[in-house]
Structure 1
Amino acid sequence: MYCPDFSRVEEAGQQRGSVCAIIVAGGTGSRFGNPGGKQLVEIAGRPMLSWTIEAFDRTHTIGHIVVVCPEERCAEYRARAVEPCGFETPITFADAGMTRQDSTHAGLVAAPEGCAYVAIHDGARPLIRPETIDAAVQALCADADLDGVVCGQPAIDTLKIADPMGLIDSTPDRSQFWCVQTPQVFRIDALRQAMDFAARTGFVGTDDASLVEEAGGLVRCIEAPRDNLKVTVPEDLPLVEAIMQMRRN
């Protein structure tokens, strides 16, 4: 596990105001099956999105938070997931795009001037810990050669390559594979350049790191807790709620 050392963050020239979190909460939650989406589904008595925002509010490194959500739901998200919670970090909103890539771009545009780093995170990962966010920021700040850092874990399951019918072709060496999560932290200029490159070439990535990789950037994986789960389908909710309740006891 990569553990934070905040003195090294300071040595790397890191200042709280130069890191902006972009929390992407623009999905419709079609796989979750809730007509109102999943961001405001209650977990341990609060909207899921408020738990996600709270983790970033409690960090040592994040100086601004941008929540990217559908334009027509901005007031609702603010009223239910932000205003009742008394967060100290400045929070602004940006309008979600048609795709995840578009939404990340909208958040990037909304980042305040003077921001040198951005931490992109899924709104539906409410179990993220502040210390994990700080560790990812630290890892990027401490290595001038890196363009980004991605949280995740080395794969522990056996992996198979199969054809469309499910027939196995081969079993790759899992030591080279990681299961990635968010946050994904980038130097803001590197992500902007990657976004421009993707727009010019038509590249569509499966995550933000893939855009930077495609543009020739250097991205590192760091190990983070496995309980940083994403709420995708209804059966994810009881497990996430149980973990949240356990943390509060």
Structure 2
Amino acid sequence: MTVWPLVVAAGVGRRMQADRPKQYLRLNQRLLMDYTLDTLLSYPGVTRLVLVLSAHDPYWPASEFAHDARILRAAGGAERSDSVLNGLRTLQAIASMDDWVMVHDVARPCLQHSDLDALLAQLTFPGAILASLTRDTMKRGRLNAAGQTEISATVEREQLWHALTPQVFPLGLLIRALEFCLEQGVAVTDEASAIEHLGHAPRLVEGRADNIKVTRPADLALVAFYLQQARSGPTNKRGGL
């Protein structure tokens, strides 16, 4: 199969309270985004990668991959879905509409090749995503008259999953799904939800619990720990397309 990674890196990461977007923060003397790009570009069978960056990103030249000819840049949009759609349209120049596109968050630097192996091994139409089963008791909240949040209900956690990335879909189908949601004014927070709006049911593939997304300052220490553990343990790089 032909799979093209698409990395979304156009966000500003306001919740990180940093002086720059989170993808350009350093972990163990390396940019956070460089861990992500390294994992995807070193996966067997990957020849090109689409990277969606802000149109006026001044930090990209600091990346160790800034001059890598395998990276095809696309401009970010107002929302995540706009950025992904821009990346997909850029990918059309080198890919077939029947090829698979693997969308990944740049702020998930702990992704391992073993998860990619598992995801691609179970890949069938209309696509699949990495996810993790919810292990905690889940509560639905509501605001009371005083503006405080209280419990509205306990949600049954059986078959309740956390959506992760990568998420993999046929290029043409994902373009059609995102364009449909844009036309209908439907807000989507991940690519799978756009595919669902077309009436399809992507597959859930259980991934590693350490494939976390850096969102807040406290996440950095945990990600640094996971990366250190991965570096000191057995290699995770195997498999391929």
In the superposition, the TM-score normalised over structure 2's length comes to 0.87
CA contact (8 A) 2:24 2:59 kept: no
The verdict on how the C-alpha distance between 1:96 and 1:83 changes in structure 2, with shifts beyond 3 A counting, is closer
> Deviation of residue 83 (structure 1)?
4.1
Q: Relative to structure 2, which stretch is displaced further, 112-121 or 219-228? A: 112-121
Gaps of at least 5 residues in structure 2 are 233-241
The 5-angstrom pairing of residues 1-249 of structure 1 reads 14=1, 18-73=2-57, 76-83=59-66, 90-111=70-91, 112-114=94-96, 116-140=99-123, 143=124, 146-165=125-144, 166-249=149-232
> Deviation of residue 172 (structure 1)?
2.1
List, as ranges, runs of 4+ consecutive aligned residues in structure 1 with deviation greater than 4 Å. Answer: none
Gaps of at least 5 residues in structure 1 are 1-13
CA contact (8 A) 1:125 1:231 kept: yes
AA partner of residue 57 (structure 1)? L
Name 1:5's counterpart in structure 2: none
SS of residue in 2 equivalent to 1:68? strand
SS of residue in 2 equivalent to 1:124? coil
CA contact (8 A) 1:148 1:187 kept: yes
Query: What percentage of residue pairs aligned between the two structures are identical?
Result: 30
Aligned-partner Cα distance in 1 for 2:219–2:62: 25
CA contact (8 A) 2:96 2:171 kept: no
SS of residue in 1 equivalent to 2:18? coil
Name 1:9's counterpart in structure 2: none
- Write out per-residue CA displacement over residues 60-85 of structure 1, whole angstroms, 9 at most, x where no aligned residue: 24332111111111x6414424148x
> Deviation of residue 124 (structure 1)?
0.5
CA contact (8 A) 1:40 1:81 kept: no
Please give the root-mean-square deviation of Cα atoms over the aligned residues, in Å: 1.7
AA partner of residue 45 (structure 1)? Q
The verdict on how the C-alpha distance between 1:135 and 1:164 changes in structure 2, with shifts beyond 3 A counting, is same
In the superposition, the TM-score normalised over structure 1's length comes to 0.85
> Deviation of residue 193 (structure 1)?
1.2
Aligned-partner Cα distance in 1 for 2:86–2:120: 21
> Deviation of residue 57 (structure 1)?
1.2
Whichever structure has more helix as a proportion of its residues is 1
> Deviation of residue 244 (structure 1)?
1.0
